[in-house]
Chain A
């Protein structure tokens, strides 16, 4: 009860005197300066506005055309274009490359910790993005 009374008295004290303090004033050209910065930013944006050389529509047309060529050639030719020529990889057995990491053993705990670190790192990126976006919501 006594504590509540003190809170009320302190509240009344602060309410009465803080309101008497005058508000500070920024420089005279404050608003003009902000508008100038915004105008500059806007003009820079319009100057450096990037435009894709190939528009989305063109990419779509190119992709459709390529797909049509592949599918049609597959249908009408005896040998499919999707059939890759056979390559003889047996030469790889003849080359003997010393295994530098033969003696290196990685324990499971190291693997798990590296995996968890990666996971947390990716999670942080998402978390931080949300955090900063939230500030402006």
Chain B
């Protein structure tokens, strides 16, 4: 299951070559740091969490059996470390109320987003994503950005399949609602011009 290169470096580290761990850190630091940042919304905390994640991974590398991808195993450590940090700081996002989504709603938001430059659009989406509650934000990130399968998300979060599906669906709806609220003035303008 594990990538051959990863396995090679994991074996090297287990055999005492500490420097081989740099390859694994360099490969996955962006992934773990971004997940921690999306969940905690703090760069300092994300840096600390992701460093702890790699150190924990190093200490427990011999326990990694290779049944799953190394990235999924790392993701699991990072995800739980971020959850622990959130619990410790008792930080939680205010949630947007979610109603049923209509086709027109998706269409009008899409129309406005298409009219915005890619870079700016990505910034808007990023801001909207961080307004989601941390569990929903991480679901969206894992599924759509890092392209983890449902099975892998279940492995990372240790939630049931039904629970993951519900959370993912709720997260998609809430994200659309937040994006819609953010670009609402543009939508009004857009349809006013028509």
Contacts and interface: CB of A to CB of B under 8 A. Distances in A.
Interface residues of B, number: 54
Interface string B105-130: 01001100100001001100110010
4 A-B pairs with least C-beta separation: A18-B144, A136-B60, A26-B33, A24-B34
Interface in A9-26: 9-11, 13-15, 17-26
Contact of A20 (B47, B101, B122, B141): B122
Given A30-B25, A135-B76, A23 B30 contact: yes
Interface residues of A, number: 34
Interface of B: 18-19, 21-22, 25-26, 29-31, 33-34, 37-38, 43, 46-47, 50-51, 54-56, 58, 60, 63-65, 76-77, 80, 100-103, 106, 109-110, 113, 118, 121-122, 125-126, 129, 140-141, 143-145, 169, 172-173, 175-176, 179
Contacts of A41: 55
A31 interface: yes
B125 A17 contact: yes
Contact of B58 (A19, A38, A135): A38
Contacts of A5: 103
